[in-house]
Amino acid sequence: MPAASYLVGACWVCFRRGLSGPGAAGDPLWAAAVVVDAGRIVGQRVVGGYASGPYVPGMLALRLGPQFEDVVRRLTPWPEVLLLDATGDDHPRRAGLALHLGAALDLPTVGVTHRPLLATGVWPADEAGATSPLTIGTDQVATWLRTRPGTRPLVVHPAWRTDLEVSVRVVEASLAGRRTPEPLRSARQAARRARAGQ
DNA sequence: GCGACAG
DNA sequence: ATCTTGTCGC
């Protein structure tokens, strides 16, 4: 039997260039979602829309939740896991957007961010694959992951139906030699391309 | 009062 | 998010 396809999805939202500060409801945006199979894009959707509210730390879902849900629902084929720039348990109410979106879509999710929201932890060694825990109190809620030497580590957040171990494994498997997982890069590129067309 | 603060 | 600037390395 052939090896099973491993379909990894990702979604991204970008705003008009030059927008600064927290923004507001009604900000024009472009949302993109992709599905990648062994490094190849096998599904892609892009949609224009408007922000539901301003950006407030801890309430990202109120700004972008409906837009992410809308674009991902249009995706075919359906991925096995979805990556997005958001947190899971690293949140004031242990309910970051990655958790919300996975629950709403009944789809396993993994958050990937540049920095933690509340959690703290020392950076891992400067070697590919090095990790260190990010904790809130005594609970590990996310993992620092050095995806490439000499670059800032990423924060990997377990979210809907994923755990600390699986989330790191999914991210490492989708790096394709870059610092950022390839599906997320593709989704960002698709959103920006749509923006450029307007 | 001041800085921090997923995107 | 998005912008700018500067630096390092291939």
pLDDT in tens, A143-190: 999 999 888 999 999 999 999 999 999 999 999 989 999 999 999 999
User: Does nucleic acid strand C have an atom less than 7 angstroms from the CB of A64?
Assistant: no
pLDDT-based confidence at residue A8 (cuts at 50, 70, 90):
very high
Span CA (A19) to C1' (C4), Å: 14
Residue closest to C4 C1′ by Cα: A18
Span CA (A142) to C1' (B3), Å: 24
CA distances from A143 to A100, A117, A156, A164 (A): 19, 12, 5, 7
Which residues in chain A belong to E strands, given as ranges?
7-15, 28-37, 40-50, 81-84, 109-113, 131-136, 139-145, 154-158
Task: Give the domain ranges of chain A.
Answer: 7-196
User: How does pLDDT run across A49-107, given as a tens digit for each residue?
Assistant: 999 999 999 999 999 999 999 999 999 999 999 999 999 999 999 999 999 999 999 99
Pick the CATH number of A7-196 from 3.40.50.2300, 3.30.2170.10, 3.40.605.10, 3.40.50.1240: 3.30.2170.10
